[in-house]
Amino acid sequence: MHTREMLAVLLLLSCMSKCQSESPRSGAQELGASQPSPREVADLLRTRVPVRLEIVYVPREIQTQAPITPGRLEAHCWYRVGIQEFQWSAFRTDLISALDGCVVGRGTREPDCRWGCIFFDTKGARVLTMYFDGGGSRGLLNGTPVTGLGPVVRVLEKRCSPLWVGEVKYHPLADWETQDRDREQ
């Protein structure tokens, strides 16, 4: 194997072990050496290992009583779009370009998640997760809070917004806190 291929395999294994050990509801983790940078994520996408992408979205206009966590975003999203052959899609190319253009910093807290990208391998295992606030100023990269992912959100808006045109008036997300209390009783 060439050095570049070995690095890609090591990054993939690192991402896979981190994604499998964390649930979507997990809290913020400290930024560690195993945390991939946007460039490393772009390199992972270049390997064509992620074969399926699931995008989840809740419009900014939906007001909630508490910030939306990754778990709640996945469970109660307003829209869910799947790309089955992600490794061959033009969407992949756009995401790689956006990630290459990101200048990411360490985040101090989890975002109010409005966008989520969950990447899967051929066996259906998660290999990477990314969650973003409405504008991409704050996000989670494999569970770690980061800032500066606006270019990725702009790609998501450009590619996905035409799929859900229309006015948003109400969504059950607004009642999450009440629903959670009711379930606990």
| 79-131 pLDDT, tens digit each | 999 999 988 888 899 999 999 888 888 888 889 999 999 999 999 999 999 99
**pLDDT greater than 50 at residue 14:** no
12 contacts 43 by C-beta, under 8 angstroms = no
| 35-61 pLDDT, tens digit each | 667 788 888 888 888 899 999 999 988
pLDDT of residue 19: 41
| 55-89 pLDDT, tens digit each | 999 998 888 889 999 999 999 999 999 999 988 88
Domain count of the chain? 1
DSSP characters for the chain? Answer: --HHHHHHHHHHHHHHHHHHHS-TT-------TTSPPHHHHHHHHHTT---EEEEEE--TT---SSPPPHHHHHHH-SEEEEETTGGGSHHHHHHHHHHHT---EE-SS-----EEEEEE-TTS-EEEEEEE-SSSSEEEETTEEEE--HHHHHHHHHHHGGGG-S-----GGGGHHHHHHHHH-
- What pTM did the predictor assign? 0.70
* The token pair that represents 65 in the structure block: 């009583």
- Range of the structural domain that residue 64 is part of: 3-184
pLDDT of residue 102: 86
pLDDT of residue 33: 42
Rg (CA), the chain: 16
Band of the pLDDT at 12, cuts 50, 70, 90?
A: very low
